[in-house]
Structures are given as C-alpha cells and as structure tokens.
Structure 1
Amino acid sequence: MDTLSQFKDEFETEYQTTRKFLESYPEGKNDYAPHEKSMKLMPLATHISEIFGWPNTILKTSEVDFANGDFQPKDLSTKEDLLQTLDDNFNSAQESLKNAKEEDLNEYWALKNNGHEVAKWTKYGSIRHSLNQITHHRAQLGVYYRLNDIALPGSYGPTADQQSF
C-alpha cells in the first residue's frame, strides 16, 4: 500500500473543502463564539489552517512540546491571512509527504506539555489524527457559520444552502 500518496490525496481533498470554508470567512466576526467555553471564530479558523502544516512537523520531528515553545499559534486577523496560512501549510505538507518514505510512518511522534506526554502515536497515526482534526474543527466552523447565517459550502456532499442533485 502506498500510504504516503493516499495521505497526499486525502490532504488535497480536505484542503479544497477547507479552502471553500475559509473563502466564506466573515469579516468583522473574529471574536464571535457561540458559548463562553467555545473558541472564538478567528482562533478556530486559524487552528484549522495550521493543522494542514502538521504532516511537515510530524515527519521532521519526534515530538512537539507546547511549553517549550515548539509551537506557537499564529495571531491572524483577516480572511487573506487565513487563506495564505492554509496555502503555505498545505504546500509544506504535500512536499514533506512527497519526500517521505513509507518506513518513516512507523516511527513514533509525541505531543508533550512541559515534558509530560499528552499523546503518542506512530507518525502514521499522528498524520491520521491531523486529518481527523481538520474534519472535526471544520464541522465546528460550520456550526459557527450556520449560527451567523453564513451559507455553508459542501464538505462531502451538498448542504441545505446548495441545490441538491
């Protein structure tokens, strides 16, 4: 099985879908949150755009420790910033997947916080988790959009805002 090319194809599909969502990003709603415990709209959209860079990080490192500053979320403020971050991260991920070897996916990768291991997977599992995170957080974004009467693009088929086939 050629897992790396399958990952490239999956990331391409998720990228195209996510780009449609971010192209619909509403200016002036950066601080919107549906609940006090919910992430605000811009940080959520930023997080989604940054997840596309995870394969690059995963394939080039053995861990990320949040407390050590290994990763700092970007502070974006515009739709253009979101789209540029998405594009840059997607391109770096595709390049890393193209240059990786299947056996690289068997190595382990960990998320840590101040040395404490929060999660650990094979690099295959870590990249799979990235794809799951994209889907999960994009669905959250869709709820935020719906609550603000923003038309939803389709993800895996048409939405109520699009004509059915």
Structure 2
Amino acid sequence: MSKIIQMLLKELDAESSITHKMLQRVPNDKLDWQPHQKSMTLKQLAGHVAELPSWITMALTSDGLDFAVTPYQPALVSNTGDLLELHNRSLENGKKSLESTPEDKFDEDWILRDGDNILLKTTKGETVRMSLSQTIHHRAQLGVYFRLLNIPVPATYGPSADEMH
C-alpha cells in the first residue's frame, strides 16, 4: 500500500474518532432544531457529517456526480443510534475503497456538476482529500450547534472549554 493511501487512512481514522464523539452527543429531542431558517437542521447536518466518509468511495469509483441526474438524497436517520450506524457504515465503506484502489486512479478526473454547469473539476485524489476537509468543516458547524444548544462540545485537536478543569 502506498504511503499516500496509508496517510489518508491514518487521517480518516483520526478524524472519524473525533466525529464519532460528536455524533454520540446529538440529542434525539433536538433533531429538528436549526439555528437559522437558512441553516440545516441538526439532523440534516449530523447526517451529512455521518455520511461523508462514503464520499471517498464515490470519488474513487465514479467519474463524478451530476446533481441534475442524481439529486442529493440525504440518508434517513431518526435518532442518534441511526447517525452512529450510518457513520460506521460510511467509514468502513470509505476505508475499503481507499485500501483497494490503486494509487494511479487518484490522478483521474472527477467532476461535480449540475447538468451543464460544472461546479468542480478536480482529481479523484483531491476529491478524497476534500471529503476529509468537508467532514472537518461540517463537524465544526456541529460544534457551534452544540454550543448554541448548551451541549458540551467534545475535544477535537486539544481540550475543549467544556472538558477543561
């Protein structure tokens, strides 16, 4: 296995451990809460965070995603247990794809579009990396939701204000 794939697997494991801690704290009674009408609900945001590792597989096994042909359909979750199961499945799926994909595939093009409108043209490898960045980005949003709901924010790369003594 190449060093690049080993590095991505190591990062995926580390980030997924943090993500799991966050998803465990999503309260079932607040799933429909949203901080603003333009914001995702807590359920939508947490569901997206949980499914993002599976985007690694999509990047490595397809040439792109066209929202005009395949509109985004969020995973159906109805409680915290569903979120954790979704994350575990997505993570296992993403890891298997990384482990089984030859590194030369990482240089192939991957295109995100909405019909004729190209939203992003990049390589499959860059798309894998972007899915990790998206996880971190949306997980940080989840931390803001927690703060607004007075839910203790778990540590990420160091202690959080809620875990300091």
TM bin, normalised by shorter chain, reads over 0.9
Q: In the TM superposition, what whole-angstrom CA distance separates every residue of 1:96-150 from its partner, at most 9, and x where no partner exists?
A: 1000111111001111112421111111111111111001100000000011110
Could you tell me which residue of structure 2 aligns to residue 28 of structure 1? 29
Computed over aligned residues only, the root mean square deviation of the Cα atoms, in angstroms, reads 1.3
Does residue 75 of the first structure (1) align with residue 76 of the second (2)? yes
Runs of 4+ in structure 1 deviating by more than 3 angstroms, as ranges, are: none
Contact 1:20 1:153 in 2 (8 A): yes
Quote the Cα distance in structure 2 between the aligned partners of 1:71 and 1:58.
Answer: 15
Could you tell me which residue of structure 1 aligns to residue 145 of structure 2? 144
Quote the Cα distance in structure 1 between the aligned partners of 2:7 and 2:102.
Answer: 13
Moved more, 96-105 or 65-74: 65-74
| Superposition map of 1:6-155 within 5 A | 6-69=7-70, 71-155=72-156
Contact 1:2 1:102 in 2 (8 A): no
Cα deviation, residue 35, structure 1: 1.3
Quote the Cα distance in structure 1 between the aligned partners of 2:31 and 2:67.
Answer: 24
SS in 2 for 1:38: coil
Scaled by the length of structure 2, the TM-score of the pair is 0.95
Scaled by the length of structure 1, the TM-score of the pair is 0.95
Moved more, 54-63 or 107-116: 107-116
Quote the Cα distance in structure 2 between the aligned partners of 1:74 and 1:125.
Answer: 24
Quote the Cα distance in structure 2 between the aligned partners of 1:143 and 1:105.
Answer: 33
SS in 1 for 2:28: coil
Quote the Cα distance in structure 1 between the aligned partners of 2:122 and 2:4.
Answer: 16
Quote the Cα distance in structure 2 between the aligned partners of 1:4 and 1:114.
Answer: 32
Structure 1 spans left out of the alignment, 5+ residues: none
SS in 1 for 2:68: helix
Quote the Cα distance in structure 2 between the aligned partners of 1:71 and 1:56.
Answer: 16
Quote the Cα distance in structure 2 between the aligned partners of 1:50 and 1:66.
Answer: 17
Quote the Cα distance in structure 2 between the aligned partners of 1:71 and 1:147.
Answer: 28
Cα deviation, residue 19, structure 1: 0.3
SS in 1 for 2:112: strand
Cα deviation, residue 22, structure 1: 0.4
Specify the code of the residue in structure 1 equivalent to 2:145.
Y
Aligned residues: 164
SS in 1 for 2:111: strand
Contact 1:64 1:70 in 2 (8 A): no
Structure 2 spans left out of the alignment, 5+ residues: none
